[in-house]
């Protein structure tokens, strides 16, 4: 069997965070943005990617807000098995995908709930780049700004300038085969901050696929104002 031809694509959206840095008065994925919750914008965009067989949303076990904030989302693709870390939330979500028929060779595109400016064309770009790749990859931006390292004893002052050549800012989605990502997350532990770093820990090199500046992750209060302006002008 040609596994590449038989493979399907699933999106997995970890949506179990509390968003402490965003100062949004609650989980940032449920903050209101241009008439609907942040995560509703995210899921609306993913629904426009025709090659995705389905999108699984992974919530915290005690989440009581999602159905109110995103009415009409298919409950079959909603699970409350989020863990104490992003890595554990994604790992548990992979198990839920298996329960829904996903197999070892199927592709999983993990996407941040708070990257609500994602556009279907950008996801398609990642799928096109990774479909025949042996490892998989991620959307990322080559850094243009000069990087400064803060002094350890006084983080308001510069300790050094960090060479920016070859440095990229990781984005999502990040696209890997289910079995490979499952193994990588099981080996890496809960401290990793993205899926690619777990894959790297196996000695593999994920593909860097050019992302977009607009594909920002809403983290700080100012990010919400910027996202609002961008959504209103689309």
Question: Which of 21-35, 55-69, 108-122 has the lowest average pLDDT?
Answer: 21-35
Classify residue 161: in a domain, yes or no.
no
178 is in which domain, residue-wise?
Answer: 3-132+173-191+214-233
The pLDDT value recorded for residue 21 is 44
Is residue 146 a part of any domain in this protein? Answer: no
- Determine the pLDDT at residue 40: 98
Name the residue with tokens 């080996």: 187
DSSP-derived letter for residue 223 is: H
Band of residue 26 on the pLDDT scale cut at 50, 70, 90: confident
The reply to whether 197 falls in a domain is no
**How many structural domains comprise the chain?**
1
Q: What tokens does 175 get? A: 């696209």
Residues of the chain above pLDDT 70, percent: 94
pLDDT at 20: 45
- Residue 130's pLDDT is what? 98
Q: Is 38 contained in some domain?
A: yes
45 lies in some domain: yes
Please enumerate in sequence order all residues whose Cβ is within 8 A of that of 193, keeping only pairs 6 or more positions apart, or say none.
Answer: 86
Q: What is the pLDDT of residue 214?
A: 97
- Compute the average pLDDT of residues 156-166: 94
Q: In this predicted structure, what is the pLDDT of residue 189?
A: 80
CATH number where 119 lies: 3.90.550.10
In sequence order, what DSSP letters do the residues of 80-94 get, joined into one string?
----SSHHHHHHHHH
User: Does 152 map to a domain?
Assistant: no
Q: Domain for residue 8, yes or no?
A: yes
């Amino acid at each position: 069997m040609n596994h590449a031809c038989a493979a399907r694509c699933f999106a997995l959206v970890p949506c179990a965070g509390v968003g402490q840095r965003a100062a949004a008065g609650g989980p940032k994925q449920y903050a209101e943005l241009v008439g609907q919750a942040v995560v509703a914008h995210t899921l609306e965009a993913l629904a426009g990617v025709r090659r995705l067989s389905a999108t699984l949303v992974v919530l915290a076990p005690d989440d009581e807000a999602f159905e109110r904030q995103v009415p009409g989302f298919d409950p079959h693709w909603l699970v409350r098995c989020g863990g104490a870390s992003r890595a554990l939330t994604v790992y548990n979500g992979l198990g839920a995908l298996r329960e829904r028929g996903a197999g070892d060779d199927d592709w999983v595109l993990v996407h941040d709930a708070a990257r609500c400016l994602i556009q279907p064309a950008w996801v398609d770009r990642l799928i096109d780049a990774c479909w025949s790749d042996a490892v998989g990859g991620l959307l990322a931006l080559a850094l243009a700004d000069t990087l400064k390292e803060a002094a350890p004893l006084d983080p308001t002052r510069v300790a050094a300038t960090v060479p920016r050549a070859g440095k990229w800012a990781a984005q999502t989605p990040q696209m890997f085969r289910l079995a490979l990502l499952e193994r990588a997350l099981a080996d890496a532990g809960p401290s990793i901050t993205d899926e690619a770093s777990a894959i790297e820990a196996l000695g593999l090199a994920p593909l860097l696929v050019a992302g977009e500046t607009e594909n920002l992750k809403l983290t700080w209060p100012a990010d919400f104002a910027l996202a609002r302006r961008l959504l209103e002008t689309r």
